[in-house]
Amino acid sequence: MVITPKIRSNICINAHPVGCAKEVEREIAYVQAQKAKRGVLAAAEGGKGPKTVLVLGCSTGYGLASRITAAFEYGADTIGVSFEKEATETKGGTPGWYNNAAFDRAAKAAGLKSVTLNGDAYSNEMRASVIEEIKKMGGKIDLLIYSLASPVRNDPDKIDPETGAHVMYRSVIKPIGKTYGGKCLDIINEKLTEMSADPANDAEIETTVKVMGGEDWQLWIDALQKAGVLADGFCTLAYSYIGPELSHPIYRDGTIGQAKKHLEKTALNLNEQLKKSVNGSAYVSENKGLVTRSSAVIPIISLYLAVLFKIMKKMGIHEGCIEQMERLFSERLYINGGALGDVPVDAEHRIRIDDWELRDDVQAQAQKAMAAVNDDNVREYCDLEGYKHDFLVTNGFDVEGVDYNKDVADMRSID
């Protein structure tokens, strides 16, 4: 069959196998070029970067980019965990399933150890499986990337007495205290729309923190530490977003923001715990805003990102997932290709790789553009092509070098 993007309510619900694989290959090529440019030495070449890395949420976005950087710039063996729908001969899988397949194929070709586990990363069973794989791989990990982004989480230790199933928590993206709304970008029709979100109740705030906060991250570190699989000097990182002031009511000061603040508090606790036990460290990295499945349906965010991309590209400082994560590794974690040392952080112990997005000159231009943009001048102020490309490429569409008119006979194939 010929596969074309199926878009419903600003969300793409299918994926192109070859497109996903080609995009993974592009990201790999980028970090390999950066490795040569920066003179980074892999551990096998005498370098002091990560040797064995665990990535929770490895299949898309920042998690995938982190795994690619660790493997193909720093030569690390990797274990990845994600929850994806597997493809069959006639039915497509999720983008992440194809991304994982492409990563594993490339890692094998490069002589790197790679294990990808498909299942519930929040479960104790998955923790046990990961620990088993770490022991098979060499016994210790020196970096854990926590990049899980799921709307739901099953509590591994609580059972609903009525159903006999694990208690499920569900996250929401809502403001707190009052309704929040504003202009959004309908990228398909290239028009502005109005969108609003009603305030969350206490239960919704609590469950969002349960899903997106630091509780599960803490459980992972406790389990790995108890199993004795953390190397001396072990580091762990979780990802977050602060964003511009105009989005704070729906994000930083909303339900997701409460969860992220819990994540940051967890990082401080983990940092002390790991410092004492394995001379280790823990951080939250505040990253740049990018097009994701959720950003398309959050009031104001889609329009802001399209405006931001235009400004940052004009200034020559725009980054996608792979560029951002490569810079995080090389200019924050493993500076000049050396060992993990004095990681630069802000006053709240956070790594700020969102520094270019939140520059005063960038934000001043963004505020002016957001106030001026309308249906008549949307192309003047917004990077419509760039936003649309990023929107499509996450599902394997609009990728250079792919013949989208070619019949795909087997939905499992990434060739």
The Cα 387–Cα 303 span in angstroms is: 10
Q: What residues are paired with 153 via a beta bridge?
A: 169
251 is catalytic: yes
Q: How far apart are CA 69 and CA 107, in angstroms?
A: 12
CA 281, CA 283: separation in Å to the nearest integer?
7
Distances (CA, A) of 28 to 143, 315, 322: 19, 25, 9
CA-based nearest residue to 73, from 101, 53, 56: 53
CB atoms within 10 A of CB 88: 11
Which of the residues 30, 62, 98, 251 is marked catalytic?
A: 251
CA separation for the pair 19, 393 (Å, rounded): 8
| CA pair distance 359, 353, nearest whole angstrom | 11
Edge to edge, what strands does the sheet with 77-82 contain? 114-118, 77-82, 52-56, 141-146, 230-240, 281-286, 350-352
Give the residue numbers annotated as catalytic, written as ranges. 251
